[in-house]
Amino acid sequence: MTIRKAVFPVAGLGTRFLPATKAVPKELLPVVDRPLVQYAVDEALEAGIETMIFVTGRNKGAIEDHFDVAYELERIQADRGKPLDALKGTRLTPGNAIFVRQQEPRGLGHAVWCARDIIGDEPFAIILPDELLIGREKGCLAQMVAQYEKVGGNLVCALEVPMEETPSYGIIDPGARDGVLTEVKGLVEKPKLGTAPSNLMLPGRYILQPEVMGLLATQEAGAGGEVQLTDSMAKLIGKQPFHGVTFDGERFDCGSKLGFAQANFALACRDAAMGAELRGWAKALLG
Ligand code: G1P
């Protein structure tokens, strides 16, 4: 069955970016000129996703506006003879941008569960927008969909991190590896330092079977006192195929200020219009 729906959990408060996120959702913070959530939606569109499901919360209304028709803006630009390319990907197909609210901050697993009735009985994708993944040839989700067509079941993106960073992430207990696919034998959310089964972390891209929703419904709170998606996914191992997909590309952790600054700098340096000048300026600045 093809993957038609993607869930974007965007209810987080973004406190690490205060005061920027006091009135602006963190998912709308721009990397160069596109909001983070736009990169996530572009990645989904490239992978063939049709229905975008945003799990929002209070103060996230601007995300709905971002993906709506901006009638006035579009008309003024058209009247001025200005191209509308800059708005590409922001006007989602009517009915294919769906917003549901997570009323309490009970964790990623709970946020995904909030989309259960819209997902229904089909496999679906999840993209965490603050993990900005820039694929080398294809986007991350498109790379995963290509693997899904071969093996089906459940897939998570897998990336190596230094061992000391493992307590911050969901971590894979890996089995046999075959090309970009690694069998997932176990999953653990935020293991204590020195206890991680590997340094293969989950950078926020998933293709899951709908059965995970039933498991999330009764999932007890785990790491950090939150309902963890990782814990419910772990229960699918052994019942359904489960693989990690090694991602070919770069990762920017835009949930942290350092990663966000790095993403802005790296992508601006590659920008056709300003990249060369910025690189020259940076070289002079750093001596
Ligand atoms: C979440 C997931 C974790 C994953 C991480 C990626 O954690 O629970 O498994 O590795 O995103 O950024 P959070 O960063 O929300 O604590």
**C-alpha 108 – ligand 1 centre gap (Å):** 8
Tell me, yes or no, whether 286 lies in a domain.
no
Tell me, yes or no, whether 244 lies in a domain.
yes
**C-alpha 76 – ligand 1 centre gap (Å):** 41
Tell me, yes or no, whether 266 lies in a domain.
no
Ligand 1, atom nearest to 131 Cα: 12
Tell me, yes or no, whether 261 lies in a domain.
no
Q: What pLDDT digit, counting tens, does each position of 73-111 carry?
A: 889 988 998 878 888 889 888 889 999 999 999 999 999
Tell me, yes or no, whether 277 lies in a domain.
no
Ligand 1, atom nearest to 230 Cα: 9
Q: How many domains does the chain have?
A: 1
Q: Is the pLDDT of residue 1 over 90?
A: no
Tell me, yes or no, whether 213 lies in a domain.
yes
Task: Label each residue of the chain as H, E or C.
Answer: CCCCEEEEECCCCCHHHCCCCCCCCHHHCEECCEEHHHHHHHHHHHCCCCEEEEEECCCCHHHHHHCCCCHHHHHHHHHCCCCCHHHCCCCCCCCCEEEEECCCCCCHHHHHHCCHHHHCCCCEEEECCCEEEEECCCCHHHHHHHHHHHHCCEEEEEEECCHHHHHHCEEEEEEEEECCEEEEEEEEECCCCCCCCCCEECCCEEEECCHHHHHHHCCCCCHHHCCCHHHHHHCCECCECEEEEECCEEEEECCCHHHHHHHHHHHHHCCCCCHHHHHHHHHHHHC
**C-alpha 204 – ligand 1 centre gap (Å):** 7
- Residue 205: which CATH number? 3.90.550.10
Tell me, yes or no, whether 275 lies in a domain.
no
Ligand 1 cavity residues, CB under 6 Å? 108, 128, 131, 169-170, 189, 201-204, 228-230, 255
Q: What is the mean pLDDT of residues 126-135?
A: 98
Q: What percent of the chain has pLDDT over 70?
A: 100
Best probe residue, ligand 1, of 202, 216, 251 (max atoms within 8 Å of C-beta): 202
pLDDT band at 253 (very low <50, low <70, confident <90, very high): very high
Tell me, yes or no, whether 239 lies in a domain.
yes
Domain containing residue 34: 5-255
Q: What pLDDT digit, counting tens, does each position of 35-67 carry?
A: 999 999 999 999 999 999 999 998 899 999 999
**C-alpha 192 – ligand 1 centre gap (Å):** 15
pLDDT band at 9 (very low <50, low <70, confident <90, very high): very high
Q: Is the pLDDT of residue 131 over 90?
A: yes
Q: Whose CA is nearest to atom 15 of ligand 1?
A: 108
